[in-house]
Amino acid sequence: VITRESCLERDRVDPLAGLREQFALPDGVIYLDGNSLGALPRSVDARLRDAVTEDWGRDLVLSWNTAGWIEMPQVVGDKIARLVGAGPGELMVTDSTSINLYKVLTAALRLQVGATRRTTVLSERDNFPTDLYIAASVARSHGMDLRLVDGDDVEQSLDESVAAVMLTQVNYRTGRLHDMDAITSAAHRVGALVVWDLAHSAGVVPVDLIAADADFAIGCGYKYLNGGPGAPAFVWVHPRHAAVASQPLSGWMGHDDPFAFMTEYRPAAGTARFQCGTPPILSLVALECGVDTVLAADPVGGMHALRAKSVALTTLLIELVDQLDDEFALTVATPRDPGRRGSQVSILHPSHGYEVKEALIARGVIGDFRQPDIIRFGLPPLYTRFVDVYDAVQHVRGVLELGEWRDERHRVRARVT
Ligand SMILES: Cc1ncc(COP(=O)(O)O)c(C=O)c1O
């Protein structure tokens, strides 16, 4: 049996426990939704205040040079690059994940121009909707089809009709983790290019884009990178493509020399050409604080230590849910093999998942709900304690045992679930 005391002991001996101090988390809340919005790094407040009062307020437009604003997409990009196995200068922070997907998928299809037999973009049916919507639109504008298959069938669906494969490494709904190395090499064997969405992996799953020989990657700043609501996203392009790839949003910030104000567009060398317009500096300041909270794990083992703790946390949650009474009818939708899941555990409640999630929030346990029946618990190893997992599952038991989810007010659907 797993006891609360044994979880407290695991926290006491956890070499990563001190990293939680980096975050301002409210008392009385068990926050298990860092897969949607990462917690607030304590450093953000002062850094943003300086950026506002000194850089913007006092130094005004000069800050583009004196405060290094113009370099920030690259500086923060280089920090994220360290977390995903990319080299300096290969990864830029810019735009949103959706927009970056539009840019890189278009670039990938343009690289396949002339390969007339290639008529499809291949993706997973259960991919995140924005990825599917953008992929369908890009495929259509190249006269191609978006072909959707089950997550398990991606490799066997590859053939020479595929121009590009577009996958999210960790599924937003189930937390299932794709084998990036195997899928990338299988795709390359049939001549397809691969675009990886790292929204649910960057900062929590060790990723090695160069070792996997991926072609393009994009990802979110506001989840495990703790960059704040609507934080800018990132884009990575393999160096073999970066100097030849062309992206459709040819804005001035992707120009080789924006301040030459030339009439003709001339793309910057490398991934910098994937920028479009003026970077959102205040958001970049917050994102840099967030990325620094992940890099702070370096002295205690970095991404591999974070992954080990993440696996321990998700394993604990699954074990505790398994011990709950069968009559609660909960099922674990996340793969039980730790090598096949990211840092979240998804629980299926057959009929009232939304209400259960709301009743948990009323008890101070914050997870979220995804249609049609999934309650998600994200377990960022930077700030989640073993005892949080233990307590959360006791609250799940309480909500179900006492039928708290039946309360009228838990039925009211908010816009964001
Ligand atoms: C896999 C995946 N891609 C993309 C997004 C969101 O993209 P955007 O930041 O452009 O809204 C999400 C958001 O949860 C996501 O889970």
- In a structure prediction context, what are the per-residue pLDDT tens digits for the chain, which is 417 residues long? 899 999 999 999 999 999 999 999 999 999 999 999 999 999 999 999 999 999 999 999 999 999 999 999 999 999 999 999 999 999 999 999 999 999 999 999 999 988 778 999 999 999 999 999 999 999 999 999 999 999 999 999 999 999 999 999 999 999 999 999 999 999 999 999 999 999 999 999 999 999 999 999 999 999 999 999 999 999 999 999 999 999 999 999 999 999 999 999 999 999 999 999 999 999 999 999 999 999 999 999 999 999 999 999 999 999 999 999 888 999 999 999 999 999 999 999 988 999 999 999 999 999 999 988 899 999 999 999 999 999 999 999 999 999 999 999 998 888 998
pLDDT reported for residue 195: 98
- Expressed in angstroms and rounded, the spacing between residue 223 Cα and the centre of ligand 1 is 9
Confirm if 253 and 284 have CB atoms less than 8 A apart. no
Indicate if 222 belongs to the active site.
yes
- Specify the ligand 1 atom closest to the Cα of 127: 1
Residue 131, ligand 1, Cβ within 6 A: yes
Catalytic entry in 128, 172, 354, 390: 128
For residue 389, count CB atoms less than 10 angstroms from its CB and return exposed for 0-12, middle for 13-18, buried for 19 or more: buried
Catalytic entry in 118, 273, 357, 376: 376
- Expressed in angstroms and rounded, the spacing between residue 167 Cα and the centre of ligand 1 is 12
For residue 368, count CB atoms less than 10 angstroms from its CB and return exposed for 0-12, middle for 13-18, buried for 19 or more: buried
Residue 157, ligand 1, Cβ within 6 A: no
- Expressed in angstroms and rounded, the spacing between residue 172 Cα and the centre of ligand 1 is 9
Indicate if 376 belongs to the active site.
yes
pLDDT reported for residue 375: 96
- Expressed in angstroms and rounded, the spacing between residue 391 Cα and the centre of ligand 1 is 29
Task: Please give the Cα distance from 404 to 400 (Å, whole number).
Answer: 7
How many CA within 13 A on the CB side of residue 42? 9
Measure the N-to-C terminal CA separation of the chain; round to a whole number of Å.
Answer: 33
Alpha helices, H only, 270-301 = 281-295
Rounded (10°) angle between helices 302-322 and 386-401: 30
Confirm if 399 and 363 have CB atoms less than 8 A apart. yes
Strands annotated E in 153-246: 162-168, 193-197, 216-219, 234-237
The total of other beta-carbon atoms located within 10 Å of residue 155's CB is 16
How many CA within 13 A on the CB side of residue 149? 17
Distance of CA 128 to the CA centre of its chain: 11
- Expressed in angstroms and rounded, the spacing between residue 93 Cα and the centre of ligand 1 is 15
Confirm if 41 and 249 have CB atoms less than 8 A apart. no
Catalytic entry in 223, 341, 357, 370: 223
The total of other beta-carbon atoms located within 10 Å of residue 60's CB is 10
Residue 35, ligand 1, Cβ within 6 A: no
Residue of 37, 94, 102, 128 to test ligand 1 pocket, by largest number of atoms within 8 Å of CB = 128
Q: Which two tokens stand for residue 367?
A: 């997870």
Task: Please give the Cα distance from 363 to 303 (Å, whole number).
Answer: 32
Q: 3-state class of 402 per DSSP? A: coil
DSSP 169: S
pLDDT reported for residue 417: 87
Residue 133, ligand 1, Cβ within 6 A: no
pLDDT reported for residue 44: 98
Indicate if 197 belongs to the active site.
yes
Task: Please give the Cα distance from 95 to 184 (Å, whole number).
Answer: 25
Per-residue H/E/C for 45-79? HHHHHHHHHHHHHHCHHHHHHHCCHHHHHHHHHHH
